[in-house]
Structure 1
């Protein structure tokens, strides 16, 4: 195993498996959770771009939302001839979206099977304290841990593996990230307090990859994650990705894999980027309501053409489709969209509205 990997793992392993019934080691527990009688529900997580079944409004009391994430280290072909060892939550890049409401508790069981080669953990940007939970969730191969945290801030947030040092970006750019959506208990609202409802929702995780190449330009392939580490770090230092994928693989959400909608439907899109900025744009549409930094306490922007997703954050927007056809949702760094893979499709069915757009004369030879 690579020396750097051994040293990093050695620094982390004292944390692995520590028994924690309270807070962080070395600190007195000053406030205990009072959860007697709180309802428990198990959320069925689904692979992106699908979103778990959920209520947009929850006027009842806060609940404990139980979720289970199983780590899987596996080789994937992210583009023809381009292989990478993906570090995944529940087998997908990005990991599944978790949905709860403000005031709920997220109770996570994080499982690292014996088949894994590396220790892992999870940092929730939506959580408070202990490195977002990263300090209390380190699990070696063959271990599992349970962490509960309270959703105090509504919005969409990134989660990712954060084992420490250079291992943090290495795990993140190998796919180990996802998102959490914490809805206000009374649902989404515009700047005037009017309710915003959506008919369906999609979660798009944007993933940047840094694949080493041979002298002839072919991408290298490795028998294990550790064998790629030094080469990966060399490419990562250049800060220029070889691939930028919407949905984990190049073309994962295009063509026959396009997301679906219908004219008249209002769709919520959640977009996360755990490592670098992104510049989304919906060709032929707009963000009717946009939470650019993903925080639902902020009034949404209106009618945006393109926007930014900050590195290590998630955003959300709502759009009501008015015309049928194939829409492209992409990064408006058009080099990344057309050459590196930062593009997805939405196939919308329904009737065309000539009042919004009409071709008056088809293309013909100039007279």
Structure 2
């Protein structure tokens, strides 16, 4: 992050170059000797929220109280995990301080906890980042003080042995040291932190899941998530903005192992303060955030819609949970983005795009329901499985389940319609609302009958049989709401 105005001497004069922040008294500021004025209790926030920007023009004594708790919490629908937390949630509470502040840090280990814990703040200049001073047994409190010398966005985490296990169980968060002259003003600020969970059970396996050390050592997590759980920042919990807003995301990576390829689908980062430091890269599509590292990304949201935050190591997003949503509400601007203007059949042999019926492929007719189910399984594996998953569970917050699906069981024609006409807008499946787009699939009536019959007779659905004649009827009747 560019925290200072840089003074450059040119021809005996001083040319003040301000890259991000305007001219201020911070030009000659020395955080080591800054006068400490007064005392404040730090306001701490849980993700995705951040405390308000600091509006004081002086350093102060800042008292931070952080309680460690060990709690069974939701990891995914039907899946729980015993998480070790800084402040009751994963990731831990966001700390916001100012360059030059004298930070008095109190670490409290709840009496109900079973293990000792400590904290290593990457913003600290001192042994262990504070870990040596904060080894805290259950029912005890430790205190140490440090001066905030280096502005930037820093990770904090537990460093009690085995360190990797304490981090993998949820003990990480972010601390922002604002520059003396402050940050540029934006409309929205949010806290997003990626991390991994290593469970004995496979992804989506229900129940309380224990930590798996072998998977952790092999760096093979079952879950890669934003803000502590699958779907934590989607649906009603999505972060929000309006067209024309300047948005700042404080992005961290608790790891403990993987580097994140952080990306917002449909946006370009106007500025990236990469690795949380003072260098800025402009017009960035995807930025790397190392384990134990951070980045600050800033961009304007131009047009309304849902923008998906992902780790662009893309199977982590759609198969392990690294998805979040930025929901932008407001007026359309077709000068920036029109949405779909045309959808029609393309016939390359005709040398032009033509509005003629979809090309029909010959597909041998299934003779029995067993044969139809078997062929439908093949269609599902090649066309549907990447979104709706091998077990039909879908992807929380993104793609609805086809397993035990009330949407499908109540009216199989809905499934046919979604395949042959596509589907967009809100639908409710098993009590959860999904708002996305499913494109029309280029499948024959026979193939659609096969895959729909397979779905009805798989994944604990209620059974049934769909024929090519049923598919043709739905094609002619049009989309089903």
| TM-score scaled by length of structure 1 | 0.81
Counterpart position of 1:346: 326
Counterpart position of 1:50: 49
Counterpart position of 2:67: 70
Output the CA distance in 1 between the equivalents of 2:297 and 2:98: 18
What is the deviation of 1:35? 9.4
Counterpart position of 2:306: 326
Aligned residue pairs, count: 314
Counterpart position of 1:283: 265
Q: Describe the superposition over 1:40-96 as per-residue Cα deviations: whole angstroms up to 9, x where unpaired.
A: 1112212111001232x64x2211111111111001120123321100011010001
What is the deviation of 1:218? 3.9
Counterpart position of 2:191: 203
What is the deviation of 1:202? 0.4
Whether the 8 Å CA contact 2:153–2:296 is kept in 1: the answer is yes
Whether the 8 Å CA contact 2:44–2:96 is kept in 1: the answer is no
Output the CA distance in 1 between the equivalents of 2:341 and 2:325: 27
SS at match of 1:221: strand
Of 205, 208, 214 in structure 2, the residue corresponding to residue 221 of structure 1 is 208
Of 76, 80, 84 in structure 1, the residue corresponding to residue 77 of structure 2 is 80
What is the deviation of 1:187? 2.5
- Once the two structures are superposed, the pairs formed by residues 167-186 of structure 1 within 5 Å of their partners are 167-186=162-181
Counterpart position of 1:152: 149
Whether the 8 Å CA contact 1:101–1:182 is kept in 2: the answer is yes
Counterpart position of 2:292: 312
Higher mean alpha-carbon deviation, 256-265 vs 73-82, is at 73-82
Unaligned runs of 5+ in 2: 1-31, 346-354, 357-481
Whether the 8 Å CA contact 2:261–2:311 is kept in 1: the answer is yes
What is the deviation of 1:219? 5.8
Counterpart position of 1:92: 89
Q: Describe the superposition over 1:114-148 as per-residue Cα deviations: whole angstroms up to 9, x where unpaired.
A: 10000000000110111000000010001001121
The answer to whether structure 1 residue 119 and structure 2 residue 116 are counterparts is: yes
The answer to whether structure 1 residue 292 and structure 2 residue 274 are counterparts is: yes
Unaligned runs of 5+ in 1: 1-32, 189-195, 223-227
Whether the 8 Å CA contact 1:212–1:220 is kept in 2: the answer is no
Whether the 8 Å CA contact 2:36–2:101 is kept in 1: the answer is no
Counterpart position of 1:336: 316
Higher relative contact order (Cα pairs below 8 Å, separated by 6+ residues): 1
| TM-score scaled by length of structure 2 | 0.62
SS at match of 2:307: strand
SS at match of 2:68: strand
